[in-house]
Amino acid sequence: MPKHARATTHGEPESEQAAPQQPEAVTEAGTQAEAAPPSPASDNVSDHEQLPMSGIRVIDVGNFLAGPYAASILGEFGAEVLKVEHPISGDPMRRFGTTTRRHDATLAWLSEARNKKSVTIDLRQREGVQLFLKLVAKSDVLIENFRPGTMEEWGLTWEALSAANPGLVMLRVSGYGQTGPYRRRSGFAHIAHAFGGLSYLAGFPGETPVLPGTVPLGDYISSLYGAIGIMVALRYREQTGRGQVIDVGIYEAVFRQLDEIAAAYGLLGKIREREGSGSFVAVPHGHFRTSDDKWIAIACTTDKMFERLAEAMEHPELASTSLYGEQRKRLAARDEVNQLVIEWVGSLTRDEVLERCLAKEVPIGKLNSIADIFEDEHFQARGNLERIEEDGLGEVVVPGVIPRLSATPGRISNLGPQLSNATYEVMREMLDISADEIKRLRQQKII
């Protein structure tokens, strides 16, 4: 069975994704990194060999996040992930986000490129392509996220890849997918949010649509679909011995999350508009400011939930059938009902509102900043904040592993690797290339 494969992403900014980029100057970082020890593994996770994806080798050949994040997920559950990068510049995500004292690693890189080994190969050189095909032959999964046609321009067609490894599973993530009239357009998460219909819904009625958060949600979602596709394809390979291609467009991963809007338009011609912090299906259902200038979220999607809220507000009569006890009446009097809740919440501190609502089992939660999250006892109890010691940086906090498996929980073995930290190991031990040949390949900047 092939053992390892590579992946690529399609994240922001995509102008750096079309092909590996050259830095201003060649450094010795790659050579130095090979001698550096890996980051320590998390103390409370299973041994690598006990994890369900152990024995699967993934090649991640993309840039940024869409696609490569799927490789990170597989790595958390035991897959060996080889991050194939350009020998000089590496993945541009190394320079994307908040910088650190490590010249080749932002905090975004450390967090999202975790559980990977860095192998440098120049895919624009013929010898680099041949090395890469040898690596593919010994792998299970390949992930790439360049614009459609880029891999083919390098000679890495699906025909060539599958000839090297008939059982290869290949995930291809791009802005618009591998087919269709827009296939060659640049694809960013921000553009996918807009094109896929999500951004149209974000904001207040009649105002400029806003970003649905300041994170590349589409990159994460498309990677999750990619990870699911990989697992399904590996299952098919177990049954038949044959690999296949998984094609994910970032925009369609976003579009798939938009509940009933396609059915509502197709059947009724209904276009959902921006609703601010509320919801067209329920009221009160939104965000409310407390007297200590904090925010809470309340969700009352049924009559019973509103009855509980009315009791928490010490005005149970609000839930009577003559007032707002029925959903249809609350929806018809949306502004009135919201104003009652706004005034009540605004008269109390956040803790007071939480205490009263939780006592009546009203669905309520804090609108957490990241500072709130770090202090929250539930995040701590669930292990959602993983603390990893990183050489030269000290403790780095990253999101913990999900999903949570009872018998084989995932683990973080290392944060985003130094450039080329595993090139020698892979070339010498996996591909059986001599030390002298490795030296020559380095001198010619093929690796």
Which residue bears the tokens 């891999």?
151
In a domain, 243, yes or no: yes
Same domain as 190, residue 74: yes
pLDDT at 49: 57
- Which pLDDT belongs to residue 50? 85
> Considering its fold, how many domains does the chain have in total?
2
Confidence at residue 280, expressed as pLDDT on a 0 to 100 scale: 84
Which residue, 381, 327, 414, 393, is CA-closest to 118?
A: 414
The answer as to whether 153 is a domain residue is yes
Counting as low any pLDDT under 70, the low residues of the chain are 1-49
Give residue 72's pLDDT. 98
**Closest Cα to residue 305, out of 360, 354, 366?**
360
In this structure, is residue 263 part of a structural domain? Answer: no
**96 and 146 within one domain:** yes
Name the domain boundary from 340, 369, 398: 369
Res 347: pLDDT: 98
77/113 same-domain check: yes
Judge whether 319 and 304 are in contact, CB under 8 Å.
Answer: no
Do both 249 and 391 map to the same domain? Answer: yes
Q: Are residues 173 and 315 in the same domain?
A: no
At 317 the pLDDT is 97
Count Cβ atoms below 10 Å from residue 271 Cβ, excluding itself.
9
pLDDT tens for 168-203 read 999 999 999 999 999 999 889 999 999 999 999 999
Range of the domain at 44: 14-256+385-443
> Does one domain contain both 358 and 394?
no
Task: Check the CA dihedral 377-98-198-224 and report its sign.
Answer: negative
- Does one domain contain both 389 and 344? no
H helices present in 196-318, as ranges: 217-240, 250-255, 261-268, 303-312
Question: Which of 369, 402, 418 marks a domain boundary?
Answer: 369
Do 145 and 233 belong together in one domain? yes
Q: CA 173 to CA 5: how far, in whole Å? A: 15
* Same domain, yes or no: 251 and 125: yes
Q: In this structure, are strands 244-249 and 364-366 parallel, antiparallel, or unpaired?
A: unpaired
Residues 410, 314 share a domain? no
Whether residue 393 sits in one domain with residue 299: no
Q: Is residue 8 part of a domain?
A: no
Q: Which pLDDT belongs to residue 42?
A: 40
Q: Are residues 56 and 166 in the same domain?
A: yes
Q: Which residue has the tokens 């507000």?
A: 313
Q: What is the pLDDT of residues 3-60, one digit of tens each?
A: 333 333 333 333 333 333 333 332 233 333 333 333 333 444 444 458 999 999 999 9
Query: Is 219 assigned a catalytic role?
Result: yes
- List the CATH number of the domain containing 323: 3.30.1540.10
Strand pairing category for 244-249 and 169-174:
parallel
The pair of three-digit structure tokens given for residue 310, joined into one six-digit string: 């009315």
- Rounded to the nearest 5°, which phi and psi values hold at 298? -125, 135
Give which of 369, 312, 303, 361 is closest to 341, Cα–Cα.
Answer: 312
Calpha distance 79→57 (Å, rounded): 6
Which one is catalytic: 219, 292, 391, 436?
A: 219
